[in-house]
Amino acid sequence: MMKYNVIYCDPPYTYRNIKTGGSMKSGALNFYPTITNKDLKLLPISNICEKDCIMFLWVTVPLIDEGMELLKSWGFKYKTMLTWRKVMSLGLGYHFRGQTEHILVGMKGKIKALRCQVENIYQCRALKHSEKPEYFRGLIEMATENIPSRKMVELFSRKTNIPCWKTTGLDSDGIDIRDFLKGEVSDKG
């Protein structure tokens, strides 16, 4: 099974608020199948990790605790965070109108500090439901270019044929991540 040292991951988190918004059709379950945090923690991410590995994990504001738990359960130590501010968006939320999503950066093994001289916040218009700005994939590529023998994978990807990346997920290649991590499908690409 192929091992990777750069992992970009946007899990289909389960929210307690099944239906929200005026239309009652804005919950994540209306767009894609979700996975509970308990089941996400059980994913055998270590099967695809090099000994030295860095994880870029998307998380929304209400699920930051769950994201931190995921990093830890998958063997990564939290190091820093990137923030996407959604411009022109009213935002969602029960307490405040959230206009940000975050990428938790975790490392395992001996990954040197990135020393990336780029701000940790990026602003752009909100995109389609759960769609993330291409900017962050480019930032990850730039920030990790000095990692020896860099091999990059995007889990729960919605896109295919991204140069230098293996992408996998129901929306990109129709593969359930659980099968990919168990080695039950080809991971070439």
In the Cβ-directed half-sphere of 128, how many Cα atoms lie within 13 Å? 5
Question: Does 40 fall in a domain?
Answer: yes
CATH number at residue 18: 3.40.50.150
Question: Does 122 fall in a domain?
Answer: yes
Comparison of pLDDT for 12 and 128, the residue scoring more:
12
Report the predicted TM-score, pTM, of the whole model to 2 decimal places: 0.88
Q: Mind listing the pLDDT tens digit for each residue in 2-12?
A: 999 999 999 99
Instruction: Assess whether pLDDT exceeds 80 at residue 89.
Output: no
Q: Per-residue DSSP letters for 108-148?
A: ESSPPP----S-SEEEEE--STT---HHHHHHHHHHTTTST
Q: Mind listing the pLDDT tens digit for each residue in 19-50?
A: 544 444 444 545 557 789 899 999 999 999 99
Full domain range(s) for residue 44 = 4-182
Longest dimension (CA), the chain: 49
Mean predicted confidence (pLDDT) in 131-147 = 94
For β-strands 77-87 and 4-9, DSSP reports them as unpaired
Mean predicted confidence (pLDDT) in 55-83 = 96
Total domain count for the chain? 1
